[in-house]
Amino acid sequence: MITVSIVTYKTDVEELKRCFTSLSSPLIKTIYIVDNSNEASLADFCKNYNHVVYIGSENVGYGSGHNKALKLASKDSDVDYHLVLNSDVYFKPSIIDKIAEYMDNNADVAQVQPYVSYPNGDQQETVRLLPTPIDLIFRRFMPKSMAKRLNYRYTLLFWNHKTPLNIAYHQGSFMFFRLSAFQKVGMFDERFFLYPEDIDITRRMHKYYRTMFWPEVSIVHAHRAASYKNKKMLLVHMWNMIKYFNKWGWVFDSERSEWNEQILKELDYKGYNE
């Protein structure tokens, strides 16, 4: 069986309803809604679904919110997998069954990310190397030509994204986990309020298990990119990335260097092309 957690903050009910439609697989036992805005209207909406558990909360952040659900899910002996999901994601319900079957057949895989597209069908750049400070902070302030060159390598734009890849960074909108792996790795690092918690948890999983990009199934993510549109969210993003690099290393990060080099070699990276 599978549990799901969605952390909400002043989330549109229609958006959440569409997301719930995607979660109609019989394998899904419980959907936890951790509402960081603690809205009565959302609590009332969730009462319409027997398998939805509403958890009202102060705004504790993304990872901390999901940890509330993971702690409950880990107590259920019937549950093998847990899906961390954004409310602005939707997909065919059958992909849940397909990912669960893939995980059943690959006991060394702790985490799966499907192919992700925008609503217009364009590929979303969710498969990435582990970031350096230049990739995630300073790139925003560089000339466009230089930033484009860096982004080409960092987001693996030279690759067709059509084959499975064991990679240490999964984007956080859809993270399908083997629940037992959290016992070894630990849950989301609650020092991060928002943004780098997906990088942090994936690389911790990657150290002991395979963390797979698996493009046999696909989802749609109506990505808002809030930090590119809102100065307050930009500051939140940058502050939390500072915390991330303080934890893992700014210039010296041996795992990052080793794993990124492995990926680039595996994908036969030849350098930037205009």
User: How far, in Å, CA of 258 to CA of 49, rounded?
Assistant: 46
What would the pLDDT profile of 41-50 be if each residue is shown by its tens digit? 999 999 999 9
Q: Please give the C-alpha separations between residue 22 and each of 18, 25, 85, 87, 241, in angstroms, as whole numbers.
A: 7, 8, 11, 11, 32
The reported pLDDT for the residue numbered 149 is: 84
Q: Is the pTM here over 0.85, yes or no?
A: yes
242 exposure class (CB count in 10 Å sphere: 0-12, 13-18, 19+): middle
Q: 218: exposed, middle or buried (C-beta count within 10 Å: 0-12, 13-18, 19+)?
A: middle
**DSSP-assigned letter for residue 139:** G
Structure confidence at residue 224 (pLDDT) = 67
For the chain (274 residues), the mean pLDDT of every run of 10, in chain order, is 96 94 97 96 94 94 96 95 97 97 98 96 94 79 75 93 96 97 97 93 98 98 62 85 95 96 95 69
The 10s digit of each residue's pLDDT in 47-72 is 999 999 999 999 999 999 999 999 99
Query: What are residue 56's DSSP bridge partners?
Result: 35
Question: How far is it, in rounded angstroms, from Cα 37 to Cα 8?
Answer: 7
Cβ distance 109 to 209 under 8 Å? yes
Give Cβ neighbours of residue 146 (< 8 Å, ≥ 6 apart).
none
CA distance 226 to 224: 5
pLDDT, position 144: 73
Tokens of 53: 């558990």
Question: CA-to-CA distance for 9 and 98, rounded, in angstroms?
Answer: 30
